[in-house]
Amino acid sequence: MFDLIKELVNVYGPSGHESAVADKVEELLSGKVDSFRTDALGNLICEKKGTNPKGKRVMLSAHMDHIGFVVVAVEKEGFLRVMPVGGINLAVSKTRHITFGNGIQGVLVQQPVREGENPVMKHMFVDIGAQDEAEALSMVSLGDTAVYSNDCFRLGKHRVAAPAMDDRVACALLVAVIQELGECENTVIAVFSAQEEVGCRGAKTAAFSTEPDMGIALDVTSHGDTPENKLPAVKLGEGAAVKIMDQGSISHPGLVKALLAAGQRAGVKTQREVLPFGGTDAMAMQQTKGGMPVGTVSIPCRYVHSACEVIDLRDVEGAKALVLEYLRSLV
Ligand code: CO
Ligand code: ZN
């Protein structure tokens, strides 16, 4: 699982620019699904037909996009002004290595630095090593996007840190589920969604066009297992978290029950998750067309929306067993 996660977290893909991730997923799933389709929003929709005509249509959604930065202006000294794409936390973005889609490297800097003060965007700029405005504009254009640079590494025995763990770890999970599913009575619509970080936009159109009977988002969630953080009551290494609710959706109680039961039958640990903030693609699926029952299977993740998002590989394995058991036992 580590190799697959590493392969996916290292692909460039801020919100709205997910095509390289989609290409990688399509390569990994070639021969494993009945059809691939990319829609106008950039979603990659992979359908694997069920063998039972009475089977359900289950949409699983993992978002491909990653939070990032977009160039809004260039200073005459050659520095770039940027603004966030998605939920960038400026407090953890000081003096960070970032990479543009065309390979240009940059250092995100905050000046002046005042002790105890939260940075504001107007004090942040990117140094790309340009001498002046003209040189900077020969390297990047207004509107170009950047992300935290690749840095995927093992942490202890079971854990992995990387930027873009949100949500490439779930892309890896969904790839692994489809690779291992084999013959199944139910139709699985694996959606690798676009533009989640700017408002769950991709999942909305994907759910509209594929008409599933139910939707399950696969995403990271936060953690309550560090010295200063006790909520949500979710711990790394304690298994996949089955979401009860967050600020975007309330999971269907019947689906929560079915997911927890599937985890139990698969013999893996699960946690019940109530997240006081945030939302997932479940929110978009739940409110598409006439609505549908939704749930979210979450991978517990520390330091979400930073350049060092940490997950536990055992939780990913557990989530895979849970989702496989759920898909196989439905109908
Ligand atoms: Co996110
Ligand atoms: Zn996410």
The whole-angstrom separation of Cα 272 and Cα 286 is 20
Q: Are 170 and 323 in contact (CB under 8 A)?
A: no
Query: How many CA atoms are closer than 13 Å to the CA of 227, on its beta-carbon side?
Result: 0
Q: How far is CA 45 from the centre of its chain?
A: 16
Interval 5-23 mean pLDDT: 98
Find out whether the peptide bond into 112 is cis, omega within 30 degrees of 0: yes
- Nearest one of 146, 189, 163 to 16, comparing CA atoms: 146
Bridge partner residues of 189 (DSSP): 47, 59
166 CA → ligand 2 middle, Å? 5
pLDDT recorded at residue 103: 97
Distance CA 245, CA 287 (A): 15
Is the predicted pLDDT of residue 206 greater than 90, yes or no? yes
Q: From the CA of 305, which ligand is nearest? A: 1
pLDDT at 112: 87
Starting at the edge strand that comes first in sequence, how are the strands of the sheet with 57-63 ordered? Answer: 35-38, 44-48, 187-193, 57-63, 214-221, 294-300, 240-245, 270-274
Mark residue 151 as left, alpha or beta (left: phi above 0; alpha: psi -120 to 50; beta: remaining).
beta
Q: How far apart are alpha carbons 108 and 88 in whole angstroms?
A: 12
Which one of the ligands is nearest to 221 CA? 2
User: How high does pLDDT run on average in the chain?
Assistant: 96
Contact 299, 149 (CB under 8 A): no
CA dist 240 and 316 (Å) reads 7
At residue 329, does pLDDT exceed 90?
Answer: yes
Q: Is 196 an annotated catalytic residue?
A: yes
Query: Distance between CA 69 and CA 241 in Å, rounded?
Result: 30
Question: Ligand 2 mean position to 298 CA, how many Å?
Answer: 9
Domain ranges, ordered by start, for the chain: 2-66+163-329, 68-148
The DSSP result for 5-40, as a single string, is HHHHHTS--BTT--HHHHHHHHHHTTTTSSEEEE-T
pLDDT digits (tens, 9 = 90+) for 214-266: 999 999 999 999 999 999 999 999 999 999 999 999 999 999 999 999 999 99
Q: Is the pLDDT of residue 48 over 90?
A: yes
**Choice among 196, 197, 309, 325 that is catalytic:** 196
pTM: 0.96
What single letter denotes the amino acid at residue 184?
C
Distance between Cα 63 and ligand 2 center (Å): 7
Q: Residue 275, CB half-sphere, CA atoms under 13 Å: how many?
A: 28
* CATH superfamily entry for domain 68-148: Peptidase M42, domain 2 (2.40.30.40)
- Residue 91's pLDDT is 86
How many A from CA of 196 to the centre of ligand 2? 7
Rounded CA gap, 327 and 48, in Å? 12
| Superfamily for domain range 2-66+163-329 | Zn peptidases (3.40.630.10)
